[in-house]
Structure 1
Amino acid sequence: MRGAIIGAVLVAAVAVGGWLGAESLASRQLAAAIAADPALDAAEIRPLRDPARLGVALRDVRLEDPAMGLRLPWAALSLRPLSPLTARLDLPETATLIQEGQERQLGLSDPVAWVALAPLNGFSPRAMQVSARGLTLDGQPLAGGLSLDADLVPLGAQAPRAARAAYDVTLALEEGQTAALESLGLGAGLLPGPVAGSGTVRLWLDGTPAPNAPAPQVVGWQTPGLEIAAGGIGLRLVGRLARDAQGRAEGQVALYSADSQAMIDMAGALGLIPDGARLLIRAGLSRLSEAPIDTALPGPAFPDPAEGELRLPVIFRDGQVVLGGLPIGPAPAF
């Protein structure tokens, strides 16, 4: 999302300054935007000076974040004359992740990143794409491929109250290595590997990404179906969760799988059921899988399970996880 905001700064500079001298103006605007953000830094920002495109080149780019920092040896942000509202971000094939003070080397092949801006909506991102192949972590396989496509959409009548913007995001992960993902804090250690996932999610944000504005936070999501595979075992996730006033998850999801044991383990790995409730759920899964969907809660359509498939509805209400009408533990933080 920060890349989208930086792209908005470049596009805004071009719109104001025109093509003549726009690279120098964009460099100054981008430098000012980075200087205003304590989490961003770059050792050098200069005009790209490429006759085929207008843009800026950056050296030694750093993103400081308490959870995960990032350092890039270089990056280039550019526009083409025929697409002046679409910013392309060229990235190196190596980067450094900084996790709890420890540096880890990230490798990726064929990185692609671009963002299209909406000038009538404060130059917020209208669409964006990020993808890469052959991801590695400290020289070991991390994922065979990763892609994300996002499109700005209307909020909709059922958007969470705190939502101010919405994006439909299509995700795909191929051959994710569970040990490497777990070492990054992505909670995949309990899943048999490799893992893969694909589907579409609507993300609701508490603000619209824009130049010189704080990065918005996700306040809710909804999916008509995320397909997750781990070690040849499949799971489908349908539902909606939002952040309540105390920052906990609230809403309803349903898990679909033909393998009951895998369903419970994967639900636990995804943080959807408390660890201490797994034995209870295993003992009563056949009854719990017959629990009805709460149609009073907002969310997508929940299809009936296919033949040979179990459906496990999980409700997050009043700070509790509820299965079959019974609270089984505290709701996780959203």
Structure 2
Amino acid sequence: MKTLVILLLLVGGAVAGAWLGGETWLARKAQAMIAEDPRIEAASVTPLREIDRIGLGLTAVEIATPAGEAVLPAVELWAAPTSPTQFHAALPSTMTLPVMGRPLAVAAADAVLSMRVSPGSDMAISRVAAASGPVAIEGHPLLEGLDAQAQLVAMGAAAPRAARAAYDLGGQLRDLTGMGLLPRPPALADRAISVEGAARVFLTAPLRQAADAPPPDLVGVSSDGVTLTLGDQSLRLAGTVRAGEDGRAEGAAFVYTTDARAWLQLAADLGAIPAVTVALADTALQQAAEMPVELPAGVPAPAEPAKGELRVPLIFRDGKTFLGPLPLGEAPLFPA
């Protein structure tokens, strides 16, 4: 038994030595890269020296972005030994970020970004995620929490013809109240916005980590349900929409709500529709929800509405938009 313990200690010491040496090499490599890149500066780059993480700690980081300069007092970059292709960045609780063209103080609790790459797919980004507790800008609350991720998945037979990659999106954004920097319409008052759900997006190529990699085009989206909540009002969006041959939307979207009239009234209060049309529009939605519709090819049948819930169909076909069977005009370009 004593011999076994000694052997374990020797093996552990050897692994620790290689680990610490690796982090030292990483720190030197990172310092050299920063010195050669005019877009980023850091006062210090040091190894983390933690048993469950391999990584670096950077202090006084300044990053030049197209929107302006970002200043972060400290950043930790690391990967777990069990997941060497998944990288994490732990952000400081306070930082200065470019917002609307101005450098503003941003506070974020436990903010973490992560990204996983796939060496077998030419270093495509196979997963990306962001999570944070409460966020404030210039001392004004922005949101209560964020937890979102995107995962590279098999496209499936229903993918648009131009698609070359698909990502499943999921997560939630809690209590977005605004930044306190712009006036809010009186109709919104202090009502917070929350979003939760999942969707699949189809792209012309997978996301890649290279700075010079061109962003892929969005050619389709499909969802079984994304719920939008505004104060005590909520609605759910579902459907399948893609880019048609003419570049206009093709497919169907369905809006589920228990109070369409309240949403129409909000649209009127915000000036999006004339107030005198609220009652007429409500009647039109009720009728459209009750009438059978012809779904475009490749669009699966929607889920049935719950008791007391209205399901409003928007159909995009032949370059036109239909509210149920009623034509509304040209279909919008996709993506808008």
- What TM bracket, shorter-length normalisation? 0.7 to 0.9
Instruction: Name the residue aligned to 1:228.
Output: 228
1:57 aligns with 2:55: no
Q: Taking CA–CA contacts closer than 8 Å with sequence separation of 6 or more, which of the two structures ends up with the larger relative contact order? A: 1
C-alpha distance in 2, partners of 1:30/1:43?
6
Which structure has the bigger radius of gyration? Answer: 2
Question: Is this contact kept in 2: 1:223–1:300, CA < 8 A?
Answer: no
Instruction: Name the residue aligned to 2:202.
Output: 204
Q: Secondary structure at the match of 1:209?
A: coil
C-alpha distance in 2, partners of 1:249/1:183?
32
Q: TM-score, normalised by structure 2?
A: 0.75
Q: Secondary structure at the match of 1:131?
A: strand
Q: Evaluate the alpha carbon distance shift between residue 167 and residue 141 of structure 1 in structure 2; reply closer, same or farther with a 3 A threshold.
A: same
- Between 22-31 and 246-255, report the one with greater CA deviation: 22-31
C-alpha distance in 2, partners of 1:299/1:27?
52
C-alpha distance in 1, partners of 2:171/2:25?
38
Q: Structure 2 matches for 1:293-304, cutoff 5 A?
A: 293-304=293-304
Q: Evaluate the alpha carbon distance shift between residue 292 and residue 98 of structure 1 in structure 2; reply closer, same or farther with a 3 A threshold.
A: farther
Question: Is this contact kept in 2: 1:242–1:251, CA < 8 A?
Answer: yes
How far residue 327 of structure 1 moved from its aligned partner, in angstroms, is: 2.7
C-alpha distance in 2, partners of 1:42/1:132?
24
Question: Is this contact kept in 1: 2:252–2:296, CA < 8 A?
Answer: no
Residue-by-residue CA offset, 1:283-312 (whole Å, 9 max, x unaligned): 422211113343334345411112211110
Q: Aligned residue pairs: how many? A: 302
C-alpha distance in 1, partners of 2:168/2:142?
26
How far residue 159 of structure 1 moved from its aligned partner, in angstroms, is: 1.4
Q: Secondary structure at the match of 1:281?
A: helix
Q: Evaluate the alpha carbon distance shift between residue 42 and residue 219 of structure 1 in structure 2; reply closer, same or farther with a 3 A threshold.
A: farther
How far residue 184 of structure 1 moved from its aligned partner, in angstroms, is: 11
Instruction: Name the residue aligned to 1:124.
Output: 124
Q: Secondary structure at the match of 1:196?
A: strand
How far residue 21 of structure 1 moved from its aligned partner, in angstroms, is: 3.0
State the percentage of identical aligned residues.
29
- Between 250-259 and 154-163, report the one with greater CA deviation: 154-163
C-alpha distance in 2, partners of 1:232/1:254?
21
Q: Secondary structure at the match of 2:327?
A: strand
C-alpha distance in 2, partners of 1:329/1:275?
16
Q: Secondary structure at the match of 1:21?
A: helix
Q: Evaluate the alpha carbon distance shift between residue 60 and residue 184 of structure 1 in structure 2; reply closer, same or farther with a 3 A threshold.
A: farther
C-alpha distance in 2, partners of 1:30/1:155?
38
Q: Which runs of 5+ in 2 are unaligned?
A: 1-21
C-alpha distance in 2, partners of 1:246/1:23?
51
Q: Secondary structure at the match of 1:305?
A: coil
Of 195, 198, 223, 2:193 maps to: 195
Q: Structure 2 matches for 1:79-118, cutoff 5 A?
A: 79-118=79-118
C-alpha distance in 1, partners of 2:190/2:147?
22
Q: TM-score, normalised by structure 1?
A: 0.75
Q: For the aligned residues, what is the CA RMSD?
A: 3.6
Question: Is this contact kept in 2: 1:135–1:145, CA < 8 A?
Answer: yes
Q: Structure 2 matches for 1:1-334, cutoff 5 A?
A: 21-25=25-29, 41-44=39-42, 47-52=45-50, 53-55=54-56, 57=58, 59-65=61-67, 71-73=70-72, 74-177=74-177, 179-180=178-179, 183=182, 193-212=191-210, 213-244=213-244, 248-264=248-264, 275=273, 279=278, 280-333=280-333, 334=335
How far residue 131 of structure 1 moved from its aligned partner, in angstroms, is: 0.7
